[in-house]
Chain A
Amino acid sequence: MEKDNLTPEQSFELITKVINEARNRFEENGLIYVFWGALIALASFGQYYLLKTEHTDIHWYPYLLMPLGSIFTGIYYAKKKKTKRKNMIEKILAVLWNVLALYMLILGFLFAGHLRENLLPIILILLSIGIIVSGVSIRKNILLFSGFIIGISAIYAFYLNLIYQPLLAGIISVVAILIPGIILMYQHKNL
Chain B
Amino acid sequence: MYKKLNPLLHSQLRLAIISYLVSNGKADFTELKEITNATSGNISVQLKKLEEAKYIKITKGFLNNYPHTSIEITKKGVDAFEEYVETIKKYLK
Which listed residue, B22, B74, B81, B82, touches A191 by the CB 8 Å rule? Answer: B74
Interface of A is mostly: helix
Interface of B is mostly: helix
Q: How many A-B residue pairs have CB under 8 A?
A: 28
Q: Report the minimum CB–CB distance from B83 to chain A (whole Å).
A: 10
8 Å CB interface, A1-60 against B: 8, 12, 15-16, 18-19, 21-23, 25-26
B74 and A19 form a contact (CB under 8 A):
no
B25 and A22 form a contact (CB under 8 A):
yes
> Could you tell me how many residues of chain A have their Cβ less than 8 Å away from some Cβ of chain B?
13
* Contact mask for chain B residues 1-45; partner A; CB cutoff 8 A; 1 contact, 0 none: 000000000000000000000110100000000000000000000
Bound complex: CA A22 to CA B18 (Å): 12
Asked if B58 is at the interface of the complex by the 8 Å CB criterion, the answer is: no
Binding site for B on A (CB under 8 A): 8, 12, 15-16, 18-19, 21-23, 25-26, 139, 191
Question: 6 A-B contacts, Cβ less than 8 Å apart?
Answer: A8-B92, A12-B85, A18-B23, A19-B81, A22-B22, A23-B78
